[in-house]
Amino acid sequence: MTDALARNVFKALDNFKIELPSWGFADTGTRFGKFFQAAAASTVEDKFHDAGLVNKLTGCCPTVAVHVLWDFKPGQNPKEVAKLARKHGVRVGSINPNVFQDQVYKFGSFCSPNPKARQEALKHALDCVKIGKETGSDLLSMWLADGTNYPGQDSILRRKHDLEKALQKIHAAMPKSMTMLVEYKPFEPAFYHTDIADWGMAAAFARAAGKRAKVLVDTGHHLPGCNIEHIVAFLLDEGLLGGFHFNDRKYADDDLTLGSIDPYAVFRIFDQIAQYQFETGKRPAIAYMVDQSHNLKPKLEAMVQTVDEAQKLFAKSHLVDRKSLAMAQKQMDIVGAERILRDAYETDVRGLLAEWRLTHDLPVDPVAELRSSGLIAKLGKDRAAARKARGEVQAASYA
């Protein structure tokens, strides 16, 4: 590896930032039950503490995505939450409205046939914009559970029109510094149709909303066999790629640790972004975010593991010899072009990443550093005592 190539990777890593989800540090579960961990975050300050620790270990996670109904108490000044984040060395990142858990949203939110539900969802989203202004956030991340379970249940066309109108009103209320991210999902919790089912629908809704609306690609929200890097390249060229929710999956939206199932797929996504930069000379503004549910893995370990893996795969994508690849493509040398990609992917970048970390006074192996620190066990004892003092009950934990 040449010094010039190493410098290119170092520069890319310097600019690579990943947002952590507040909910990724709290107790979670499945549809069938919640699985408790002693060290799980119970308060928003716990969440910011854990996010701050991940940032200290990895050097690339300065912001934390917040879920409004989970991280802000009724009547609380949002600036207090922002101050708590800064106390732990991070900032409030994307604002995530919650228009799915309350009973009024039983048949949907912005798309519901119930006008009360549509009004409630719009009011909540507009309140989220205000919270974003108060906390200094520049991202509003929109994921909806809206959809239907049976043919004929509702008018799909009417639902589309109502959602377009709502997104336009929300976009109009946003400050000029804010971007709306429109997420999509092919199914779940609705199993007949989902109102924003794929990237094309998300792009159409983003265009209808306004110029500061873009598409959010959740790597787990695709049907089996979907070519995600193709979607990424297309959205980049259209100027519509706003960000990612990183996770991995074996079947559907499994929320597994990034790269745990198919790391080559993640590399190919990063490769298309690097290729776009090479071909256009532009570095697109992309919000890289984690969205995972660590039901069994210790939450802090899983989060650091995800960031570590993302840094490795991102670094590999910047090892691709772009000029040689362009030549192979021009010559229609399919095997040669693929070998150039594989050479970069199969390169062991742990030593290179260790050098970058040393220049930033970071642990060479952040996962090993965390595992050897004994911190998770200590947090478990301290947080169990704090929950007991607050009169909170948590089921017995075996982790």
pLDDT digits (tens, 9 = 90+) for 96-155: 999 999 999 999 999 999 999 999 999 999 999 999 999 999 999 999 999 999 999 999
| 217-245 confidence digits (pLDDT tens) | 999 999 999 999 999 999 999 999 999 99
- Which one, of 54, 78, 66, lies nearest residue 291 by Cα? 66
H or E element, residue 277: helix 263-280
Three-class DSSP category at 174: coil
Return the percentage of the chain with pLDDT > 90, whole number. Answer: 93
CATH code, domain with 106: 3.20.20.150
| 1-37 confidence digits (pLDDT tens) | 677 888 899 999 999 999 999 999 999 888 788 889 9
Angstrom distance (rounded) from CA 136 to CA 122: 21
Contacts of 323 by beta carbon, 8 Å cutoff, 6+ apart: none
> 171 near 132, Cβ under 8 Å?
no
What does pTM read for this prediction? 0.96
Size of the chain, expressed as the number of residues it contains: 399
* Range of lowest pLDDT (176-180, 285-289, 394-398): 394-398
396 located within any domain:
no
| 263-282 confidence digits (pLDDT tens) | 999 999 999 999 999 999 99
**Lookup result for tokens 């200094």:** 136
At residue 87, does pLDDT exceed 50? yes
Residue 379's Cβ-count burial label (10 Å; 0-12, 13-18, 19+) is: buried
Average pLDDT value for residue range 50-74: 97
Six token digits for residue 57: 């270990």
Six token digits for residue 180: 């709306």
At residue 397, does pLDDT exceed 70? no
At residue 208, does pLDDT exceed 50? yes
Calculated CA dihedral for residues 128, 30, 304, 187, nearest 10 degrees: -60
> 65 near 93, Cβ under 8 Å?
yes
Q: What is the pLDDT of residue 395?
A: 60
Q: What is the pLDDT of residue 399?
A: 47
At residue 207, does pLDDT exceed 70? yes
Q: What is the pLDDT of residue 393?
A: 79
At residue 367, does pLDDT exceed 90? yes
- Which one, of 269, 260, 186, lies nearest residue 228 by Cα? 269
Q: What is the pLDDT of residue 251?
A: 93
The structural domain count of the chain equals: 1
Sign of the CA dihedral running 250, 252, 257, 263: positive
Domain span including residue 155? 3-389
Q: What is the mean pLDDT of the chain?
A: 96
Taking residue 371's Cβ as centre, other Cβ atoms within 10 Å add up to: 16
398 located within any domain:
no
- Which one, of 104, 116, 23, 25, lies nearest residue 70 by Cα? 23
Average pLDDT value for residue range 308-320: 98
Six token digits for residue 252: 């559907």
DSSP track, 300-329: HHHHHHHHHHHHHHHHHHTTS-HHHHHHHH
Q: What is the pLDDT of residue 394?
A: 75
397 located within any domain:
no
